[in-house]
Chain A
Amino acid sequence: MIKQWFKSGNPWIWLTASAVSVSLILVFGLLLLIAARGLGHFWPATVVEFDYKNADQSTVRLIGEIQDEETVSAQRLRDAGLNIESDAEVTRYLIKTGNRDVDGQDFRWILKPGIEAQRTPKTLMTVERREWGNLYGYLGAVQENQQTVAEGKDAWKALQQRLARTTTLFTQIRQLEKGAIGSINYKLERLRLRERGLELDGNTNPAPQQAIKDERAALNAEYQGLQKQLSDLYTAIKRDQMLVTVSDGQTVTTPLAKVVHAYRPNAMSLLDKLGFYAAKLWEFVSDEPREANTEGGIFPAIFGTVMMVIIMSIMVVPFGVVAAVYLREYARQGPLTRLIRIAVNNLAGVPSIVYGVFGLGFFVYFLGGNLDQLFFPEALPAPTFGTPGLMWASLTLALLTVPVVIVATEEGLSRIPKSVREGSLALGATKAETLWRTVLPMASPAIMTGLILAIARAAGEVAPLMLVGVVKLAPALPLDGNMPFLHLDRKFMHLGFHIYDVGFQSPNVEAARPLVYATALLLVLVIVVLNLAAIAIRNRLREKYHALEQ
């Protein structure tokens, strides 16, 4: 019977079906994995207090969040030098104990048999800090200028009020530093360059020199004022501090200026947690990174990615469309156009790193170097455009994605029935008018599809960007309030590179991992949505012309 069954070929059909199943499982499993790991990060995790017996039989108190759980064979642990009696498998937990400044490490594995007791007291507090990662412990007292103002039960309320105050102050300091003072520094630098420019021109006219001097004096005076304001703010923010009792009984003094959030996850209701979750999610997309990108938000990376994609789109659409129109509507169809079409198709398959190499060599060193010689000699030897930056990154990606736009537009153009063009021409329109009024509007969904696919590809591309302009931490956004507002020469941050950098180059990979998953999730979401949009547009387009052909 089995022989008969094999002869019918059915088993093979089932095997091919299983290939589809495996592919689907891979695809959706991957998305689920990223989603689960990425979204879980922002949930306020329960903080647990353990009494734990160490390998040397001493008992310690540990406080932390359970991050991971796995079962390992006792053999493997014994190989690792641990003294395990049982022969079966042992469960172990990865505990995020935080307090890196106290213990020197913020993660540790503990074995389940060693746990003597575990509690989740409501008063346990998680403190997110600007430096040194999380702090876990019990709030002891709140102090103002080293004088205790609240203790015991009142302390929590006092902490919340005072934390709100320092957060406001912190925002003010940031605004002042990044905004007004940053702007003054930028203007001073511009003045310096102008002065150097005059010097290079051999201009000895005292009038412009004097103007520069006056302006500089004015800016310096303004700067002094702001500096005063800033130092007042700094004094104010340093006023409060809190005392926290950590797991080993030590009391740690933490200035409130260093605290981002302080919360008691064990005392939170579900609603509180949801609110907290939403706030954290918002902070993630709107805030700046902290602690070498391993904490805080990813706003500069989102902003950089979006800026780059926009500039790339501005360049890629006109050129891609013009090339496609030329190939389809103007060029004589023959072996040459066929060759060009094959070449364009192939270029979509050329490895992106090759574009990166080309971008670095041609755009950055050759074009950029020459631009600097011609237009920015005053800044030399510091390069302006002769170094990787936003413009070159966008241009490189535009080159990378132009085949996508050409192919998509050409497909759209080829789907427009000939009768439509002939109708327009028969009514006396010129070729250009037909193109502009009839053909291009009809092809616009195809152009959109091309653009969306190009954006999806550009947003996810990292390898070429590593060569032509992406950095792990950009000091300033490429768009700000200083003339000329858009700084094409600046380096920028990028979501994809952020994942690579934080995941592989960061000193504390364990702590950064959840953040990388969250970033990956965001990037995947953006790209999947863009692609689904492209597919939807393509399908609508097909239906539309289907109707026209009938």
Chain B
Amino acid sequence: MPDSTAPNSSVASVLSPPDSAENRRRRRWRMLKDRMATYGVALGGLSVILAIVLIFFYLLYVVLPLFSAAEVERSAEYALPGDGGPSLLLAMEEQAEIGFRLSTAGRAIFFNLTDGKPINEVTLELPPGAEISSFVAGEPGPARFALGLSDGSALIARHAYKVTYPNDQRLITPVLEYPLGEEPLEIDDDGEALTHIAFQDGEEEATVVAETADGRLLLTLFAKEESFSDDVPELEREQVLLSFAGQQDETAAIVQLLLDKEQRNLYVIRADGSLIHWDVSDKAEPHQMQKLNLVDAGLQVTYVQFLTGDVSLLVGDSSGRVVQWFEVRDERGNKTLTPIREFTEQSFAISGLASEFARKGFIAADTSGQIAIYHSTAQRLLLEQSVSDAAISGLAIAPRANAFLAEDTNGRLSFWRVHNEHPEISWSSLWGKVWYESYEKPVYAWQSSSASDDFEPKLSITPLVYGTIKAAFYAMLLAVPLAIFGAIYTAYFMAPKMRQIVKPSIETMEALPTVILGFLAGLWLAPLLEAHLPGIFSLLIVVPLGVLVFAFAWQQLPARFRHRIPEGWDAALLLPVVLILGAASFGMSETLEATFFSGDMRAWLHDELGVGFDQRNALVVGLAMGFAVIPTIFSITEDAVFSVPKHLSFGSLALGATPWQTLIRVVILTASPGIFSAVMIGMGRAVGETMIVLMATGNTPVMDFSIFEGMRTLSANIAVEMPEAEVDSTHYRVLFLAALVLFSFTFVFNTLAEIVRQRLRVKYSSL
């Protein structure tokens, strides 16, 4: 140690005194660095933790708007533009900038929605002497309407908007067009006034149904023929008399005629609240389908309107109730008009109903000046708002459902902006059974998109949750026994040398990409199982029995021979046994199938048990996903069993218990919370697994617990549909909701497991 003998002075010459300026500076610098490190680490650490928390809140932030109510704000209010009197028709163009109203005098007025100033006024060209005696609006999209005239003819017109961009500015020019010609169509040969009219115009034909002043109900079909000279097609007229005044049990006056856009169904509504349903799909021979009462005695039907798609009827009555009706097919294939759901939030007579163009929502106005926004599928009231002091007499909804116009009996018009992004979601439509249009009964269904515009989205996530649970259940069925028994043996009986090999090899499998398992399951396992179906089930019996027989035989062998295999290597000994047994049961498969299942188990299942068979079914998923969760459960269970204090089992053995009794009564009991948490964590993993389910099932959202059918899980559904979902649409948010549900599912499972595990740790340390 030469340094220790060096004189003190040389040390002093190397080191400057502790309180020298240089050292003080250095010390300050070091302290500063220390403090900066403290803040830096705290900031970094907290921000990482915040980022993690952000996941939950971001998911919530995206999901929440689904459940918010609609909002409306009054944008303007003005007196009716143009001449007075109630409007026959109120409408808006696509951008909700220009409004349209038709007065009883036959004047069409286009006006600016923000201030009510007329932009363009046109008088309909009526034949001399004729007056408007009835009116009906056609489908809202093509914006056509029909006027029944006092001379027995009908005039068809439409309001249209031409959009041009002069000087890069959008300019909307409203025009009035006559799609079937400026000349009124002759309906009644006798020239009686048309008191009620219904009309639809299609690609190839137009249908007008009208009631004449003397009580005849006439159906007139105009077949269109291409005309080359003109935009207006040539029409061929054909007429049928549906009914006439004084006919039996049709005493009450007609109040409304409704014809659907397919021109197949005609609904005649009378003042006594009765409805007659005519099937007019064959125009030459229309026939009466059904007669029923829409309202209870003492109430009147006040307004009837189609829901978009023209499948459902919305019936408003004098008590403020709106009832949705549509045709339901019973077992024998007969269709009957059935009340599906009621909206009873309003308490004054319904005076107007307006359906949204693209969604199954509608607005109902009543005589107290209130409106309510509903959604039919979700059976949800989104908003109630008083818009006027007087009764509402006219209602129009913007094509994009972002505004509405309400006209009251005082001749005032109010224009409202609507924010109503996600009306189709409610607790019942997400989780409950919903009676969708044209369905026989309420069902759980997931069908998020379709080609047609007036499609009713079916966004119940119940089938997806069901599929998730089903997949997890079958996976756990395989994984729990294998993993837990295996872990118990590994931790308690296995020779340490073998354990050193077994444990890491099973744990390494935890990291095996699930895409590989899914690919093998879908392309290799599924066809294999299909071909050897009886084999896989015989495996369940053959392997345990075979192992027992082998164990018994082994026990009977002379000790000299038995002791060649050291204790704790039984599992290695069993490897060839299990392999042979497995091969044997697969080999037997063909014979079993021929003997018991008449050569084809799939057909047998279908014919004898009525069970369908998908090639990619729950069995395949159960096996593949079971395999994926075995390592998770195995690893945690093994740790729990292995860390049971040794003196407990020694004590038990010393008291004369057999190893098995010790295991069951002492070790497992002590480790049971750990095993529980292992199962929970395994469950969490099975619930969230995506790729295996995506690849190994057919991904059809069915609600069937059969092991031979597929399923669609929440996670697979997200993977399939997320890339196609439009940002911020309802579909997009519902998929986020699915993610949130998954997140909460696994979070609950894992937290439970973690708490149990921490308790266990405390318990062990006290033992």
Chain A interface residues toward B at CB < 8 A: 2, 5, 8-28, 30, 33-34, 73, 75-76, 79, 89, 318-320, 322-327, 329-331, 340, 342-347, 349-358, 360-362, 365, 399, 402-403, 406, 430-433, 435-436, 453, 456-457, 459-463, 466-467, 496-497, 499-500, 503-504, 509, 513, 516, 520, 523-524, 527-528, 530-532, 535
Q: Is the CB of B551 within 8 A of A14?
A: yes
Kindly supply a per-residue 1/0 record for chain B positions 540-565, scoring 1 wherever the CB is within 8 Å of any chain A CB and 0 otherwise.
Answer: 00011001101110010000000000
Q: How far, in whole Å, are A360 and B34 apart by their CA atoms in the complex?
A: 39
Which residues of chain B (612-662) have a CB below 8 Å from chain A? 627, 630, 634, 658-661
Chain A residues lying within 8 Å of B513, measured Cβ to Cβ, are: 459-462, 496, 523-524, 527
Chain A residues lying within 8 Å of B489, measured Cβ to Cβ, are: 13, 16-17, 19-20
Q: Is the CB of A462 within 8 A of B691?
A: yes
Q: Is the CB of B658 within 8 A of A16?
A: no
Q: Is the CB of B547 within 8 A of A14?
A: yes
Q: Can you name the residue of chain A whose Cβ is closest to the Cβ of B751? A: A346
Q: Is the CB of B494 within 8 A of A430?
A: no
Q: Is the CB of B516 within 8 A of A402?
A: no
Q: Can you name the residue of chain B whose Cβ is closest to the Cβ of A324? A: B45
Q: Is the CB of B543 within 8 A of A18?
A: yes
Q: Is the CB of A357 within 8 A of B52?
A: no
Partner of B34, one of A19, A430, A528: A430
Chain A residues lying within 8 Å of B45, measured Cβ to Cβ, are: 322-327, 330-331
Chain A residues lying within 8 Å of B54, measured Cβ to Cβ, are: 362
Partner of A349, one of B485, B600, B659, B750: B750
Which residues of chain B (508-532) have a CB below 8 Å from chain A? 508-509, 511-520, 522-524
B687 interface hit (Cβ, 8 Å): yes
User: With A17-B573, A349-B746 given, can you name 9 additional A-B contacts, CB distance below 8 Å?
Assistant: A24-B502, A24-B575, A76-B600, A318-B44, A325-B41, A353-B718, A467-B722, A499-B519, A531-B511
Chain A residues lying within 8 Å of B47, measured Cβ to Cβ, are: 319
Q: Is the CB of B754 within 8 A of A319?
A: no
Chain A residues lying within 8 Å of B749, measured Cβ to Cβ, are: 349
Q: Which of B328-336, B384-392, B735-743 contacts A (4 or more CB under 8 A)?
A: B735-743
Given known contacts A346-B754, A500-B519, A523-B513, is B630 in contact with A26 (CB within 8 Å)? yes
Q: Can you name the residue of chain B whose Cβ is closest to the Cβ of A360? A: B722
Sample (8) of A-B pairs whose CB atoms are under 8 Å apart: A14-B550, A34-B516, A318-B44, A322-B48, A362-B54, A462-B690, A504-B522, A524-B512
Q: How far, in whole Å, are A532 and B630 apart by their CA atoms in the complex?
A: 18
B481 interface hit (Cβ, 8 Å): yes
Q: Is the CB of A463 within 8 A of B715?
A: yes
Given known contacts A9-B658, A357-B736, is B37 in contact with A351 (CB within 8 Å)? no
> Range of interface residues on chain B?
35 or more
Q: How far, in whole Å, are A527 and B508 apart by their CA atoms in the complex?
A: 9
Minimal beta-carbon separation of B314 from chain A (angstroms): 36
Q: Is the CB of A9 within 8 A of B544?
A: no
Chain A residues lying within 8 Å of B31, measured Cβ to Cβ, are: 430
Q: Is the CB of A350 within 8 A of B51?
A: no
B570 interface hit (Cβ, 8 Å): yes
Q: How far, in whole Å, are A351 and B695 apart by their CA atoms in the complex?
A: 17
Minimal beta-carbon separation of A239 from chain B (angstroms): 42
Q: Is the CB of A432 within 8 A of B37?
A: yes
Chain B residues lying within 8 Å of A352, measured Cβ to Cβ, are: 688, 690
Q: How far, in whole Å, are A151 and B482 apart by their CA atoms in the complex?
A: 65
Q: Is the CB of B48 within 8 A of A323?
A: yes
Q: How far, in whole Å, are A75 and B482 apart by their CA atoms in the complex?
A: 37
Q: Can you name the residue of chain B whose Cβ is closest to the Cβ of A327? A: B45
Given known contacts A21-B571, A34-B516, A357-B718, is B511 in contact with A460 (CB within 8 Å)? yes
B596 interface hit (Cβ, 8 Å): no
Q: How far, in whole Å, are A316 and B739 apart by their CA atoms in the complex?
A: 23
Q: How far, in whole Å, are A10 and B548 apart by their CA atoms in the complex?
A: 10
Chain B interface residues toward A at CB < 8 A: 30-31, 33-34, 36-38, 40-42, 44-49, 51-55, 58-59, 62, 481-486, 488-490, 493-494, 502, 504-509, 511-520, 522-524, 543-544, 547-548, 550-552, 555, 570-575, 577-579, 582, 590, 594, 599-600, 627, 630, 634, 658-661, 663-664, 681, 684-685, 687-691, 694-695, 715, 718-719, 722-723, 727, 735-736, 739, 742-743, 746-747, 749-751, 754-755, 758
Q: Is the CB of B523 within 8 A of A351?
A: no
Chain B residues lying within 8 Å of A350, measured Cβ to Cβ, are: 55, 688, 742-743, 746-747, 750
Q: Is the CB of A457 within 8 A of B511?
A: yes
Most A-side CB within 10 Å, residue of B52, B518, B747: B52
Q: Is the CB of A346 within 8 A of B739?
A: no
Partner of A357, one of B38, B490, B722, B750: B722
Given known contacts A27-B509, A503-B522, is B482 in contact with A351 (CB within 8 Å)? no
Chain A residues lying within 8 Å of B599, measured Cβ to Cβ, are: 73, 75-76
Q: Can you name the residue of chain B whose Cβ is closest to the Cβ of A340? A: B49
Q: Is the CB of B483 within 8 A of A23?
A: yes
Q: Is the CB of A357 within 8 A of B660?
A: no
Q: Is the CB of B516 within 8 A of A14?
A: no
Minimal beta-carbon separation of A34 from chain B (angstroms): 7
Partner of B506, one of A24, A89, A532: A24
Chain A residues lying within 8 Å of B551, measured Cβ to Cβ, are: 10-11, 14
Chain A residues lying within 8 Å of B511, measured Cβ to Cβ, are: 453, 456-457, 460, 527-528, 530-531
Q: How far, in whole Å, are A283 and B727 apart by their CA atoms in the complex?
A: 41
Q: Is the CB of B750 within 8 A of A14?
A: no
Minimal beta-carbon separation of B163 from chain A (angstroms): 20
Given known contacts A24-B575, A357-B718, A432-B33, is B52 in contact with A344 (CB within 8 Å)? yes
Chain A residues lying within 8 Å of B55, measured Cβ to Cβ, are: 347, 350, 354-355, 358, 399
Chain A residues lying within 8 Å of B747, measured Cβ to Cβ, are: 346, 350
Q: Is the CB of B482 within 8 A of A361?
A: no
Partner of A22, one of B482, B548, B690: B482
Given known contacts A14-B570, A345-B750, is B555 in contact with A399 (CB within 8 Å)? no
Q: Is the CB of B34 within 8 A of A2?
A: no
Q: Can you name the residue of chain A whose Cβ is closest to the Cβ of B52? A: A347
Chain A residues lying within 8 Å of B482, measured Cβ to Cβ, are: 19, 22-23
Q: Is the CB of A353 within 8 A of B578?
A: no
Minimal beta-carbon separation of A409 from chain B (angstroms): 11
Q: How far, in whole Å, are A111 and B52 apart by their CA atoms in the complex?
A: 59
Q: Is the CB of B512 within 8 A of A513?
A: no
Q: Is the CB of A349 within 8 A of B684?
A: yes
Q: Is the CB of A27 within 8 A of B506?
A: yes
Minimal beta-carbon separation of B622 from chain A (angstroms): 13
Minimal beta-carbon separation of A267 from chain B (angstroms): 33
Partner of A20, one of B38, B507, B524, B571: B571
Q: Is the CB of A354 within 8 A of B688?
A: yes
Chain A residues lying within 8 Å of B507, measured Cβ to Cβ, are: 531, 535
Q: How far, in whole Å, are A19 and B758 apart by their CA atoms in the complex?
A: 28
Q: Is the CB of A16 within 8 A of B486?
A: yes
Minimal beta-carbon separation of A530 from chain B (angstroms): 8
Q: Is the CB of B590 within 8 A of A73?
A: yes
Chain A residues lying within 8 Å of B594, measured Cβ to Cβ, are: 73, 75
Partner of B515, one of A24, A356, A403, A496: A496
Q: Is the CB of A524 within 8 A of B48?
A: no
Chain A residues lying within 8 Å of B51, measured Cβ to Cβ, are: 399, 402
Minimal beta-carbon separation of A299 from chain B (angstroms): 19
Most A-side CB within 10 Å, residue of B53, B515, B543, B634: B515
Given known contacts A9-B658, A22-B543, is B739 in contact with A353 (CB within 8 Å)? yes
Q: How far, in whole Å, are A321 and B517 apart by their CA atoms in the complex?
A: 32
Q: Can you name the residue of chain A whose Cβ is closest to the Cβ of B682? A: A349
Minimal beta-carbon separation of A21 from chain B (angstroms): 4
Minimal beta-carbon separation of B231 from chain A (angstroms): 36
Given known contacts A24-B571, A323-B49, A467-B722, is B547 in contact with A15 (CB within 8 Å)? yes
Most A-side CB within 10 Å, residue of B485, B502, B577: B485
Chain B residues lying within 8 Å of A516, measured Cβ to Cβ, are: 519, 523
Partner of B547, one of A18, A331, A360: A18
Chain B residues lying within 8 Å of A362, measured Cβ to Cβ, are: 54, 58
Q: Is the CB of A2 within 8 A of B552?
A: yes
Q: How far, in whole Å, are A369 and B624 apart by their CA atoms in the complex?
A: 39
